[in-house]
């Protein structure tokens, strides 16, 4: 990466400056992100009550859309389940609606099995440039103050969030949540399975530099170009002279141009967009998971991804480089 390759002279590289060209529209979109009418929609109100089931068992009172709406409000405003119940109740009362309010135990229980529909971005037949990265999310436990005050020796636990971003739209089109000891390369296949349509480019960092990652891309999208930086001690394959692989060509380009030159020539620097999505996830949603079981955590992540994509649909900045 650039800042690692130039750590000793980083201060000599000037920082890029940009100017937003649609400040009024972008400012209005940012205000809408905090509007309750954006998240508590008329569609959710109309479909609040669950359809009667025809199989054996008790009748559900709330539809999946109602539960998803409540969990979305929880994610956007960073609320606990009881506070989410209170917020939903106050909104229904202010609107004068005759709707039941799901209690916090119902929200927790339904989150275990809730199927969150993934957004299908309209690409109009264009192939996708998929940018992939991962980050750690802390689990509920001792807070930072408790750790500093009492020096608890309990190991902090976390989960790894893997996301795939559309380079053109900025939408998160794929996401998986794994244990902290799961390799990044093992999630290439599950991420690609969530993508609709062809993938033209697959870009990720050096943690995905494994044969299995290249193989997963080749099986699902044989024509896709894989842009992953080889490790520092990487060596060419045995067929590099006769039938070079994509990784062999990356090694040759690095040898000829250097790593900085390879990054500029290959388009690897586009990966900064998925790093921005990781930062946006942690600044808007948070850097910790509130749920207690893995299935509820997966639902929590899916709800958060949907909320971030919807925020992006409200408006995004258009900018030009000034320096």
User: DSSP letters along 100-154, please?
Assistant: PPPPHHHHHHHHTT--PPPP----TTPPEEEEEEEEEEEPSSS-HHHHHHH---S
- Residues 307-316 have pLDDT tens digits of 999 999 999 8
Angstrom distance (rounded) from CA 271 to CA 264: 12
Q: Where are the domains of the chain?
A: 23-111, 126-295
Work out the average pLDDT over 14-35: 89
Angstrom distance (rounded) from CA 96 to CA 195: 41
Residues near 103 by beta carbon (within 8 Å), at least 6 away in sequence: 85
Give percent of the chain above pLDDT 70: 89
Give the angle 113-117-121 at the CA atoms, nearest 5°: 160
- Residues 185-224 have pLDDT tens digits of 999 999 999 998 899 999 999 999 999 999 999 999 999 9
Element holding 276 (H helix, E strand): helix 272-284
CB 46 within 8 A of CB 65: no
With b meaning 16 or more CB within 10 Å and e meaning fewer, what string describes 182-194? eebbbbbbebbee
Give the model's pLDDT for residue 240: 87
Task: Please tell me the pTM assigned to this model.
Answer: 0.87
* Annotation: CATH topology of 126-295: Nucleotidyltransferase; domain 5 (3.30.420)
- Residues 124-172 have pLDDT tens digits of 668 999 999 999 999 876 555 566 666 655 556 789 999 999 999 999 9
For residue 96, the 8-state DSSP code is T
- Residues 273-323 have pLDDT tens digits of 999 999 999 999 999 999 989 999 999 999 999 999 999 999 988 889 887
């Amino acid at each position: 990466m650039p800042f690692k390759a130039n750590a000793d002279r980083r201060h000599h590289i000037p920082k890029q400056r940009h100017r937003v060209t649609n400040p009024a529209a972008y400012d209005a979109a940012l205000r809408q992100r905090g509007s309750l009418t954006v998240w508590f929609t008329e569609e959710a109100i109309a479909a609040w009550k669950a359809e009667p089931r025809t199989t054996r068992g008790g009748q559900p009172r709330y539809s999946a859309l109602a539960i998803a709406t409540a969990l979305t409000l929880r994610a956007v405003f960073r609320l606990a389940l009881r506070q989410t119940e209170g917020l939903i109740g106050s909104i229904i009362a202010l609107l004068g609606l005759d709707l039941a309010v799901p209690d916090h135990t119902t929200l927790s229980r339904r989150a275990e099995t809730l199927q969150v529909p993934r957004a299908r971005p309209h690409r109009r037949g264009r192939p996708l440039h998929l940018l992939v990265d991962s980050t750690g999310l802390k689990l509920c436990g001792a807070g930072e103050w408790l750790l500093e005050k009492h020096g608890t020796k309990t190991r902090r636990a976390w989960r790894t969030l893997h996301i795939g971003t559309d380079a053109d739209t900025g939408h998160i089109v794929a996401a998986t949540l794994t244990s902290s000891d799961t390799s990044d390369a093992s999630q290439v296949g599950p991420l690609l399975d969530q993508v609709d349509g062809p993938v033209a480019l697959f870009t990720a960092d050096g943690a995905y530099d494994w044969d299995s990652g290249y193989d997963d891309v080749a099986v699902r999208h044989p024509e896709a170009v894989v842009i992953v930086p080889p490790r520092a001690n990487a060596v060419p394959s045995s067929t590099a002279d006769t039938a070079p692989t994509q990784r062999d060509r990356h090694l040759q380009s690095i040898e000829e141009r250097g790593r900085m030159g390879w990054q500029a020539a290959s388009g690897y620097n586009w990966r900064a967009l998925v790093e921005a999505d990781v930062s946006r996830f942690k600044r808007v949603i948070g850097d910790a998971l509130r749920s207690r079981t893995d299935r509820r955590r997966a639902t929590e992540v899916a709800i958060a991804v949907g909320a971030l994509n919807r925020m992006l649909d409200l408006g995004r900045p258009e900018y030009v480089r000034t320096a």
